[in-house]
Amino acid sequence: MKKHEGLGVQGFLLLYSITSRSSFEEVKGLREQIIQSRGKDIPVVLVGHQLDLEDKRQVATAEGKELAKTLGCSFFEASAKCRINVEEAFFQLVREVKQPLGPKQKGMMATLKGLLKRS
């Protein structure tokens, strides 16, 4: 992810399928890309989706929780089909985005405002 690709982005939902071990394993790399381009302070919510396909599960809930703990982010398992935790995951991200800004985030916002004024 290049810096300009995330311009104005204030948070990320990182999704993996509970039915796909490889999608789960890709999450750490995606988080690293976010850190490199946006810094550690940008809110992230980890979501294991396709909860309705429990019989095809390849990633345990405990693994998702542990990864979220390692990454320092919130965690949900969700199913769009069954309408489970979809809104909750988005609302959690919004709550985290709306938390008061720290000094580093204030500096990023000032930079973003300056870039937008030049456009």
| Domains delineated in the chain | 3-118 (3.40.50.300)
Alpha-carbon distance of 101 to 118, in angstroms, equals 24
User: Rounded distance, CA 19 to CA 80, Å?
Assistant: 14
- Alpha-carbon distance of 31 to 26, in angstroms, equals 9
Joined tokens for residue 11: 């948070």
b/e sequence 55-85, b meaning 16+ C-beta within 10 Å: eebebeeeebeebbeebebbbbbbbeeeebb
- Distance in angstroms (rounded) separating the CA atoms of residues 44 and 47: 10
Number of H helices, E strands in the chain: 4, 3
pLDDT of residue 116: 57
Confidence (pLDDT) at 102: 58
Would you give per-residue pLDDT tens digits along the chain (119 residues)? 555 455 577 899 999 999 999 999 999 999 999 988 888 889 999 999 999 999 999 999 999 999 999 999 999 999 999 999 999 999 999 999 988 765 555 555 555 555 556 55
Task: Give me the pLDDT at residue 103, please.
Answer: 55
